């Protein structure tokens, strides 16, 4: 059991520590007004280079080596902006050429990423989610940050560290949503478990609207030991749980903080709970017993933002 630090913990109130489409290449303009089928558009490859394909069924997308896909316009654009090593970009040939699509194609061209236009059927076969919006990027294996490097970077900053630790989050949409909020709130990164937890998947990347291309995510074998490392680095461990006895607004989140968010169903595990310095909850006035994990995390993260950016003179008539 770790040493009790509640006597020295800066707080806002009296709180006690918790121990415990159809194939038709002539549909794509490739040159001139109507284009010539089979030729690239400004250097972008047209997948329908074989005129015989219009005489029969479209060929299925070719198999590729293991890696991951990034799906959806915003997620793909953010990945390109972040310099993610994208190997190939697939664009549905009938997709409307608006500003966002043009920006994606421009970014891909600047990075010399091969762009392949495919019919709707091939795009649907290739997609792993329903949120592809006609744009899919193929990248290498997901990159995970080194945990110790994440901690060192967070604690070396002039501002107080803020790291989000996810205990057993299995829904990729929750991971993506939490990553999106954490990035927007200025968190240093996320820590997730290698076991019984979702990793960086196409669904998570899509749900994050590209935030997972910007925020550091470290995977660890043992969350309990990771929390010990965070404590040794000077962070206070604040668990978020529906049964928390302290309100999230009662704890000073201006100090270096590791916010622990439990799984969607069972919350935090016993060992992880015992590592927390405080267990906080959210006030619930309605009949619903709890909030979605990503929503609850967002509330506490932005309470930390509020505390860290609060202007005490705002609205003061004497200011």
Spans of all domains in the chain: 6-18+143-309, 25-57+67-139
Q: Compute the average pLDDT of residues 145-158.
A: 95
Structure token digits, residue 119: 């019919």
pLDDT at 41: 37
Q: Is 6-18+143-309 in CATH node 3.40.1280.10?
A: yes
Is the whole-model pTM more than 0.75? Answer: no
- 27, pLDDT greater than 80: no
Distance CA 221, CA 236 (A): 21
pLDDT of residue 217: 96
Contact 113, 86 (CB under 8 A): yes
CATH code, 25-57+67-139 = 3.30.1330.30
Q: Is a pLDDT exceeding 70 seen at residue 57?
A: no
Based on its alpha-carbon atoms, the radius of gyration of the chain, rounded to whole angstroms, reads 24
What pLDDT does 277 receive? 96
State the CB neighbour count (10 A cutoff) for residue 292.
13
Q: Is the pLDDT of residue 65 over 70?
A: no
| 61: phi then psi, degrees, rounded to nearest 5 | -55, 140
C-alpha distances (whole Å) from 214 to each of 22, 79, 188 are 36, 8, 10
According to the model, what pLDDT value does residue 318 have? 53
Using the predicted structure, report yes or no on whether residue 17 has a pLDDT greater than 60.
Answer: no
Model pLDDT, residue 22 = 35
Asked whether residue 160 carries a pLDDT value surpassing 50, the answer given is yes
For residue 222, pLDDT over 80 is answered with yes
104 in Cβ contact with 74 (< 8 Å)? no
Which of 29-38, 108-117, 216-225, 299-308 has the lowest average pLDDT? 29-38
Share of the chain above pLDDT 70, in %: 75
The per-residue pLDDT of the chain, averaged, comes to 79
Structure confidence at residue 273 (pLDDT): 95
Tell me how far apart the alpha carbons of residues 245 and 283 are, in angstroms, rounded to a whole number: 10
Residue 28 predicted with pLDDT over 70: no
Q: With 80 as the cut, is the pLDDT of residue 264 above it?
A: no
Query: By the 8 A CB rule, do 163 and 150 touch?
Result: yes
Checking if the pLDDT of 31 tops 50, the result is no
Q: Which of 3-17, 100-114, 239-253, 295-309 has the lowest mean pLDDT?
A: 3-17
Q: Assign 279 a pLDDT band (cuts: 50, 70, 90).
A: very high
Among residues 1, 6, 3, 83, which one has the least CA distance to residue 251? 6
Give the pLDDT of residue 32.
Answer: 30
Q: What order of strands is seen across the sheet that includes strand 162-167?
A: 217-220, 189-193, 162-167, 257-262, 236-240, 278-281, 246-247
- The burial of 89, by beta-carbon neighbours within 10 Å (0-12 exposed, 13-18 middle, 19 or more buried), is given as buried
Ranges assigned E (strand) in 230-293: 236-240, 246-247, 257-262, 278-281
- Spatial contact of 85 and 140, defined as CB atoms under 8 Å apart: yes
User: How do residues 166-205 score in pLDDT, each as one tens digit?
Assistant: 999 999 999 999 999 999 999 999 999 998 899 998 788 8
């Amino acid at each position: 059991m770790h040493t009790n630090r509640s006597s020295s913990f800066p707080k806002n109130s009296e709180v006690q520590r918790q121990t415990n489409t159809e194939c038709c290449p002539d549909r794509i303009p490739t040159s001139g007004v109507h284009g010539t089928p089979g030729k690239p558009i400004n250097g972008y490859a047209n997948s329908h280079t074989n005129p015989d394909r219009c005489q029969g069924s479209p060929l299925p997308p070719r198999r590729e080596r293991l890696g991951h896909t990034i799906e959806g316009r915003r997620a793909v654009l953010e990945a390109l902006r972040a310099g993610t090593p994208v190997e190939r970009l697939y664009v549905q040939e009938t997709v409307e050429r608006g500003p966002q699509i043009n920006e994606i194609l421009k970014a891909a061209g600047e990075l010399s990423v091969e762009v392949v236009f495919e019919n709707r059927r091939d795009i649907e076969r290739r997609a792993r989610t329903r949120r592809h919006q006609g744009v899919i990027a193929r990248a290498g294996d997901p990159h995970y940050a080194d945990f110790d490097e994440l901690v060192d970077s967070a604690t070396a900053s002039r501002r107080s560290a803020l790291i989000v630790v996810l205990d057993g989050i299995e829904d990729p949409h929750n991971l993506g949503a939490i990553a999106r909020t954490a990035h927007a709130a200025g968190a240093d990164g996320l820590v997730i478990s290698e076991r019984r937890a979702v990793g960086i998947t196409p669904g998570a990347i899509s749900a994050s609207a590209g935030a997972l291309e910007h925020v550091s995510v470290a995977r660890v074998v043992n969350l309990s030991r990771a929390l010990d490392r965070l404590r040794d680095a000077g962070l206070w461990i604040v668990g978020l749980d529906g049964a928390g006895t302290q309100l999230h607004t009662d704890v000073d989140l201006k100090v270096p903080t590791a916010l622990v968010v439990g799984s969607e169903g069972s919350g935090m595990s016993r060992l992880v709970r015992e590592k927390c310095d405080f267990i906080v909850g959210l006030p619930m006035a309605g009949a619903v017993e709890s909030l979605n994990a990503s929503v609850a995390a967002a509330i506490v993260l932005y309470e930390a933002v509020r505390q860290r950016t609060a202007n005490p003179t705002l609205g003061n008539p004497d200011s």
